[in-house]
Amino acid sequence: MPQIPSLVSVSGSQNIFVVAVLQNLAQTHERWGELGVRKMFAAATVKGILGGVSDEQELKTYSQLAGEFEEDTESISDDGDRASISISTRRRAVLEPGDIRQIKEREDLVVHRRTPVTRVKFERIHEGPRAKEISEATKEALRKVNSHAAGS
């Protein structure tokens, strides 16, 4: 759909929420060009980033999205007669590109427009505490579908 970047960029103001699942930014650049990707990326209220990204530029982009924090570093100098301590502040990435590349399976980095980046874990619902209930409901639904199809 060539119009996806425009749809994503205007849909939120009309209470229409578009979910776009993209394998990587390079493929989206190839399909929709630089401007199209920027439109989608900027308009997306929530971005989810899975592990395994290996493109260096893409990892840097996500690292920049995660932001920075100030870190105090302490250094001690001793000339034999006296010691002094100095503290300096430096800015560091909240998540380095390598941290993002190594996001574990069934985890996601959630980048929301107004909140700090958050790492979340996915649970397959059919493996969780309601697994038996879901399995039984699935079997019942399949039974109904198959009995309806047999009657047609």
Tens of pLDDT along the chain (152 residues)?
A: 788 888 887 887 788 888 888 888 888 899 999 998 888 888 888 889 988 889 999 999 999 999 999 999 999 998 888 889 999 999 999 999 999 999 998 999 999 888 899 999 988 888 889 999 999 999 999 999 998 777 66
Q: How much is the pTM?
A: 0.70
As a whole number of angstroms, the distance between CA 142 and CA 127 comes to 19
Question: Looking at this protein, which amino acid is placed at residue 5?
Answer: P
As a whole number of angstroms, the distance between CA 92 and CA 103 comes to 19
